[in-house]
Structure 1
Amino acid sequence: MRGNVVQNSFDWWQVDLGNIHSVYMIRILFRDYEESGDYVKRQRGRMAGFSLYLSNTSKIKDGLLCYKDGPGLPPLNFTTDCVGFGRFVTFYNERWLSKTYPDDYFSVLTELCEVNVQGCNASYKYGSECNLPCPKNCQDRHCYITNGTCLGCNSGWTGETCNKSCAPGSYGIECKHHCKGHCMNNVPCNHTTGKCDRECEYGWFGIYCNEVCPVGTYDVHCRKNCSGNCWNGSNCNVVTGKCDYGCRPGYLGEYCKEECSQGLFGNACNNNCSGQCLHVNNETCHHVDGVCLKGCNNGFHGKFCDRICPSGQFGFNCSKTCSRNCMDNCSHTEGSCTCAPGWMGSPNCTTKCASGMYGINCQFTCSGHCAHEKICSRFDGHCPMGCKSPYVGLTCDYTSNVLSISVSISSTGALACVVYLIVKRCIFNTNKKQSSTSTLKEESKVEQSGADTNKDRVSYQQLSEIENKNYEELKIEGNPYVELP
């Protein structure tokens, strides 16, 4: 039922007290027609259902609803308690056709003769004479004007007069929050702010000490850095900074800040560098993995300098090639070698034998008995145009008249021996000539190319072997009596 409500309507009235005050009571005097009871009832029906708000701003419903009338009719001289704090007092009433009201309600018509707001001018005072201070921990120092109890407590306090701190482990308004940090020595956080009054526990930081220290830091508030060299990437001890599980390869000490001494590397610095690392500014191999930092000594290669240069190479980083004039492979460090026949010079046999010298490292002297004053071959010492008389042999270092020294021997056995020697010498000379011819051809090839090859070297060696075999292996078969030419 709508009663006597015939249209939608609302009405309001507001007073600005100038400042926020502690309010205790509001008295309203409505207009009274002082006529018959019907007029009074109608006037009360117009006022019925009103609301009183106490707020700090002019927005009505942002404040405290300190009185709501109904369902009966209010007296025209109305008084109610309205305990709170505010600057604005608002009277508000409304009628809506969509709502149901009592039969004696009429459409809104506000006729206020007087509004009286009672309280204390100072919001932090209370009592009948407004001379008592509100408790210091009341929120905004506001308390009930009648008995001084707090309307609310400051952060960290509780109780009617806010004289009790929050229980340990809780903090904030109405002590609703729980400490979430790790204060040093497990001391509870501040009951007001929730922060740690002193310092965070080791391994924690932040204003509430609820953030874990980043990996690689330690000490109070994570203010120090770990060495970063703990075993297998583990973090250091958050209290001491020491590496509890040891050091990663290349480091020593409780904090793993000390690098291995020069010449050592690896886990616990137990490994020795290869010994072939190039020393530059006192550096050898890397203290972690043993890799040679500045390269290798001559004759070695690989990241650890633990491999000898491949055959035929020598020097720094094995970047040089052995001379082709070496008899065998050269030294892997400086390239020195035994020179092949016809060559000399340190370290790599690049100089031809001097005139009159021949053989390996040019260590032999030509006989000086070559025909036509020719110089012997620098490779095997043979005379290219034969020997001066009476010299014979590949190198012309034997004389033919040495064969007649036994002719005067008169015994048959001795004569047979002389004949044997003569036959052997003839055969030797014949072979020498054949070898000489072969050697001349070989020398011609070497001189044309300007350098010898490994194949050439083998030929020179064979020449020497042939000469030895002529002395050791030739036997006289058949008729031992051979006439010398």
Structure 2
Amino acid sequence: MAGMVLLVCCIWTVLLCLSVQAYENLALHQPAWQSSTAGSYAGAERAVDGLYTDLRWRGGQCAESDWDQTTAEWRVDLGGVRSIHHIVIQYATGNIVWDENNFYTEWFLGFSIYISNTTNKEDGVLCFRDTNYTRATIPNPVNITCPYHGRYVFYYNNRTHPPFPEGYSDDAYIRLCEVEVYDCPSPGYYGENCSLECPQNCQDGYCDSVKGTCLGCKPGYIGTRCNQECPDEYHGKQCAGKCSLTCVVPGRCDKVTGRCLGGCQAGWTGNMCKEDCSDGQYGYNCVENCSLTCGDSGKCDKITGHCVGGCRAGWTSDMCEKECGAGLFGKNCVGNCSMTCGDPGVCDKVTGHCNGSCLAGWEGNMCQNECPIGLYGANCFGNCSLTCGHPGKCDRVTGHCNGGCQRGWTGVMCEEGKRYKNN
């Protein structure tokens, strides 16, 4: 009777494989790993060796974990990221009838299947978790539809949170005689005989092996077949990115990368126009340099280029690009050149210093000081005559003596001696 049941199981498995002949077992002879091993006869590779005619524990054709474990984990490396249509698991039976009386059933209950691109199942997706099977209803082999893509397929079971459901074993076990992972032999194809190419905008080229619907889209596309571009103002994976409002046309960007089309608004830079201009730069895409004649040299408004803090001495206007006009000097050109300069109202535009000399009667860099007593003329270089009526006192401009001359002298500057006749 047991032999008859085994024969029926094998025939059922063969028929199952024939029904999916368009697909290939991607797991066959691929590297495998498990969290513990019962012995040399039960390594993880036994579950992908293509042999499962002997379904006994210690039969040499099944991967088996050690005893007294609270968790049991097995995985196979498909050698690269692959689409997955379905997974078939043949659990050990002891070569006896698979029903509620078969003690292997209690070890199988509660298992999970994960798909991941890394050797950590938590980085991937949960494809299946048994929460409903009983010892009387759990199938063996079990066929699991799993429309995902990944590099690693995990079998996992645990007994970490007692009390356990009725019929569950107290410990977690691996008793896997074969794990088959089916999909098209060449990535990027689907349909009958795997002859149709997946839509060109499917992420990584993967699509549902039957319908051809994408398992994810390349950045910039959405839709079941990824044939729709992102709506205006959106970009990236699943069109979840929002185009920057600081693009030169707000919200207009490349639907794949998010890069602003036409550059950035004044004051912004970077591919996505999210970085403000560096100090010393301004304008569209920050390609303009702030004026070095700004009051704070090289610092200006990052949008307009207007100088921050006014202009340096000698310059004026919003961007400090204009020199002071005639008669003006200093910061922002608010100073008036002195009218006592040698050229009245003409001075250095930066310092306000008179160019050349002062008018008669004045001295100083800006000709702001009257000549002191005893001096006169341009830049106060002249000395008042000592023959003035008041010695050393004269008109600051002309040098003319004030109050006449001393006895014996004449002239406006008392520079001429008098001649006396003999009595």
TM-score when normalising by structure 2 = 0.65
Deviation per CA, 1:248-298: give whole Å up to 9, x if none.
Answer: 99668897634245545589989974343357xxx9413378553666455
- Partners of 2:123 and 2:211 lie apart in 1 by 26
**Cα pair distance change 1:133/1:346, threshold 3 Å:** farther
Match of 2:165 in 1: 102
Q: Which amino acid aligns with 2:349?
A: H
Amino acid aligned to 1:192: V
Q: How far apart, in 2, do the equivalents of 1:53 and 1:251 lie?
A: 72
Judge conservation of contact 2:243–2:251 (CA < 8 Å) in 1: no
When residues 181 and 87 of structure 1 are mapped into structure 2, their CA distance, relative to the original with a 3 A threshold, is same
CA gap of 1:29–1:258, structure 2 versus 1, over 3 A, is closer
Partner of 1:31: 92
1:33 offset after TM fit, Å?
A: 2.6
Q: Distance in 1 between matches of 2:163 and 2:339?
A: 105
Deviation string 1:66-89 (CA, Å, 9 cap, x unpaired) is: 111233232232211122222222
Alpha carbons of 1:257 and 1:365: their partners in 2 closer, same or farther (altered >3 Å)?
same
Q: Aligned to 2:421, which of 350, 367, 386?
A: 367
Partner of 1:45: 106
Q: Which residue pairs with 2:361 in the alignment?
A: 299
Shift of 1:118: 0.6
Give the match's secondary structure for 2:107: helix
Which of the pair has more CA radius of gyration?
A: 1
- Select which of 186, 200, 210 maps to 1:136: 200
Alpha carbons 1:32, 1:40 under 8 Å: kept: no
Shift of 1:157: 1.6
Q: Partners of 1:179 and 1:189 in 2: how far apart?
A: 6
User: Match for residue 11 of structure 1?
Assistant: 72
Match of 2:6 in 1: none
Match of 2:228 among 145, 164, 168: 164
- CA RMSD after TM alignment: 4.5
- CA drift of 1:11 comes to 2.0
1:115 to partner: Cα distance: 1.6
| 1:119 corresponds to | 183
Within 2, Cα distance between the matches of 1:297 and 1:164? 83
Give the secondary structure class of the aligned counterpart of 2:122.
Answer: helix
1:226-241 alignment runs, 5 A limit:
none
- 1:251 touches 1:260 (CA, 8 Å); kept in 2? yes
**Correspondence for 1:313:** 375
* Equivalenced residues, count: 345
Q: Indicate conservation of the 8 Å contact 2:300/2:306, yes or no.
A: no
Secondary structure of 1:41's counterpart equals coil
- Mapped pair 1:201 → 2:255: no
The aligned counterpart of 2:406 is 340
% identical aligned pairs: 36
| Contact 1:322–1:330 (Cα < 8 Å) also in 2 | yes
In the alignment, the residues of structure 1 paired with residue 87 and residue 147 of structure 2 have an alpha-carbon distance, to the nearest angstrom, of: 9
Give 1:126 shift. 2.2
Distance 1:108 1:271 in 2: 92
Q: Tell me, in whole angstroms, the C-alpha distance in 2 between the residues paired with 1:25 and 1:221.
A: 52
Structure 2 CA distance for partners of 1:290 and 1:211, relative to 1, 3 Å: same
- The answer as to whether partners of 2:114 and 2:121 remain within 8 angstroms in 1 is yes
Going by fraction, where is helix more abundant, 1 or 2? 1
Paired residues of 1:341 and 1:362 also in contact (CA < 8 A): no
Q: Give the direction of change, closer, same or farther, for the CA distance of 1:327–1:221 in structure 2 (3 Å limit).
A: farther
Using CA pairs below 8 Å that are at least 6 residues apart, which structure has the higher relative contact order?
A: 2
Which residue of the partner structure matches residue 464 of structure 1?
Answer: none
Paired AA for residue 301 in structure 1: E
TM-score, L = length of structure 1? 0.58
> Is the contact made by 1:230 and 1:236 (CA closer than 8 Å) also made in structure 2?
no
**Amino acid of the residue matched to residue 370 of structure 2?**
I
For residues 187 and 410 of structure 2, the distance between their equivalents in structure 1, rounded to whole angstroms, comes to 117
Q: Which runs of 5+ in 2 are unaligned?
A: 1-66
Structure 1 pair 91–238 and aligned structure 2 pair: CA distance change class (3 A) = closer
- What's 1:148 paired with? 212
Per-residue Cα deviation, 1:9-59 (whole angstroms, up to 9, x for no partner): 222222222222211111111222344778853111111111112222222
Once residues 152 and 226 of structure 2 are traced to their aligned partners in structure 1, the CA distance between those partners, rounded to angstroms, is: 27
Partner secondary structure for residue 106 of structure 2 = helix
Aligned pairs for 1:400-415 within 5 A: none
